[in-house]
Structure 1
């Protein structure tokens, strides 16, 4: 009488085990499928931010708010499997096309945060730099209301003029970084580049300090965009400084005019004295007039030899210049410039 009951019990146990195995297999299939199925965010290019102190639960809520699918159990199990549950790193993470939950959690575990960029362009002045940073997103704008003096004090250089102090380069930043963070890095980069240029200068250099080198490099930067001309122009200005000649360089006059510069220089502007007018004042201006690049710093450190004292644009749109040793030769070059300029203006477009 007991055998049929035992058989029924055995059959029930077997069926129960089969059901449990099937459920586990189905759960594993769902979990494995979830882990490697591309995310479907609510909008293209969406991202999620992990902030200091955020728990896995909080991050999962942020994912849900961004339109990412998956249950808390699935995300939690995957995070534990990947060792990410207690190791999510602070930062911004973008949902890239085809990204899976596994890839996203690995990025969060390993800190592969979204990187943003802002570029300081060679020849920019401090107003240009600050305007670019003010537009850069998602940079924290903590320098917008500071004047130049307060800005330099915040950067740890009180009393220093900001012009020329930030190296032109593309700077990478992440969400949460500030304008002062980027400027601090750019300042250190310029300090390093200037130090390298100063140590590599010619023994007979006329410049007496690194600050003078920075100032002359900024002038060279503004005078030409042609890389191979920079050493020649640096050498020409060095010759003028050695002879005590006025530098007579238009970019310094323009800088001294400030926001009143409207795109052209008149004779009256050349005669109007300002601390930056190198037609009326001897030597270098009191500060740099722009942000010089490394090439301009190196050109000033090792200027090309020669005895040219004058230069003028060729006027043909090439950006190149005529160089001359004497004023008479320079005046001939000015006539060439005028002829080329008129021909370029008259050419059909």
Structure 2
């Protein structure tokens, strides 16, 4: 500011002497004085830039301080929850005694960790959640038998193993009704008769009318809490979940919904890869359109209560089995399993194609080939035989 005043008075003011007459004109500005003015202007610019830099640096320091303060608050909170002073405190393990611990459906790692700390199983929430993240683990609902004062990594290994969960029933895509009931009996402790009395009685009040009294295909894959529940309650929650999922996927209603489940169940049983379901569904639709028997071994095996690998020529020739689609036209009387989402989506919207046949040519990889003509079918059938012979 002083420099600006000096420049103003030196350039724009006429000085007078004591008598009031103008003073002599100052000497013309020299090159040296002009250089000095430029230096002054440059100093002012540098000073202005330094002020801007100082302001930016101050803002950055405040922001960094805020981040560290936020992290410190989180660490303090974790320490409070874990009963310690650090969010990475952990027991040395392996633990002692016995602790029964339940993970409820919908709980996240943070909530589970807090409950584990309260139960005296892990030392801190931070150590537990870090172990979950490091292992990229999925924690399954269920009741587990643990120990007190365990290492967090050991707890994560157990909680991410659904085979060690008790009290929760896991229904997998493609499982048959008989498989689901067997698992429900084991997990719930209820007698098998309590389930079969309902499933063989038509499921009145549980199943929709289009199911035709059969639970097959109407049990939604997923994990269910079966503790302290009746057989009817267990079956009802699986059927209700199936209906909700079909609604969500946009499946048609009425008899068409049962038809979709039949096709999806065959696709689920015939191949083991999601990208094949739509093609299998198209083969089924093409054969039905052409009036051709479906000839699916998986349906026949379902009717016999066995696997496709165990059916015989006599089984194939027996038309009395309504699930024998070699001899009987159309779809099976009921779905042959409880299909998952991918198979149901494929049945609702099959891929476009002229395929009429398919063969899984490599049993190890599941590679399946789809063709339109009978000649092509025998070619891929020979490929299957050659691969199978080489494998043996």
TM > 0.5 between the two? yes
2:275 maps to 228
Counterparts in 2 of 1:184 and 1:332: CA distance versus 1, 3 Å: same
- Rate the CA distance shift 1:47–1:217 in 2: closer, same or farther, 3 A: closer
Aligned partner of 1:126 in structure 2 is: 177
Aligned residues of 1:143 and 1:151 also touching (Cα < 8 A): no
Change (3 A) 1:145 1:264: closer
Could you tell me which runs of 5 or more consecutive residues in structure 1 were left unpaired when the two chains were aligned.
1-35, 49-67, 69-91, 100-113, 202-206
> Which residue number corresponds to residue 8 of structure 1?
none
Q: Could you tell me how far apart the structure 1 residues matched to 2:338 and 2:390 are?
A: 34
Residue 220 of structure 1, CA deviation: 0.7
Partner of 2:137: none
> CA, structure 1 residues 316+176, in 2 after alignment: closer, same or farther (shift >3 Å)?
closer
Q: Pick the aligned partner of 1:290 from 337, 356, 379.
A: 337
Residue 115 of structure 1 deviates from its aligned partner by 8.4
CA change 1:324–1:136 in 2 (3 A) is same
SS of the aligned residue for 1:322 comes to strand
Aligned-residue offset at 1:256 = 1.4
Equivalent residue for 1:320, pick from 367, 377, 385? 367
Q: Is the 8 A contact 1:194 1:214 kept in 2?
A: no
Residue 131 of structure 1, CA deviation: 0.1
Deviation, 1:140, is 8.8
Q: 1:47 to 1:223 in 2, by over 3 A?
A: closer
Q: Which residue of 2 aligns with 1:334?
A: 381
3-state DSSP of counterpart to 1:152: coil
Q: Which has the larger radius of gyration?
A: 2
- The equivalent of 1:195 in structure 2 is 247
- Aligned residue among 197, 206, 214 for 1:161: 214
State whether residues 115 and 172 of structure 1, in contact with CA within 8 Å, keep that contact through their aligned partners in structure 2: no
SS state at 2:287 partner: helix
What secondary structure, in the 3-state scheme, does the structure 2 residue paired with 1:143 have? helix
Q: Distance in 2 between matches of 1:262 and 1:216?
A: 17
Is residue 135 from structure 1 mapped to residue 186 from structure 2 by the alignment? yes
| 1:305 paired residue number | 352
**Structure 2 Cα separation of the partners of residues 46 and 303 of structure 1:** 47
Deviation of 1:193 (Å): 2.1
Higher RCO, 1 or 2 (CA under 8 Å, sep at least 6)?
1
RMSD: 3.6
CA 1:262–1:333: 2 relative to 1, 3 Å = closer
How many matched pairs? 245
Deviation at 1:139, TM superposition (A): 6.9
Task: Determine if contact 1:138/1:176 at 8 Å carries over to the other structure.
Answer: no
1:207-248 Cα shifts (integer Å, max 9, x gaps): 961111111111111011111111111111111111111111
- How many angstroms apart in 1 are the aligned matches of 2:204 and 2:331? 25
Structure 2 distance, partners of 1:312, 1:210, is: 27
SS at match of 1:44: strand
Trace 1:49-88 onto structure 2 (pairs within 5 A): none
Decide whether aligned partners of structure 1 residues 320 and 155 sit closer, same or farther in structure 2, where only a CA change above 3 A counts. Answer: same
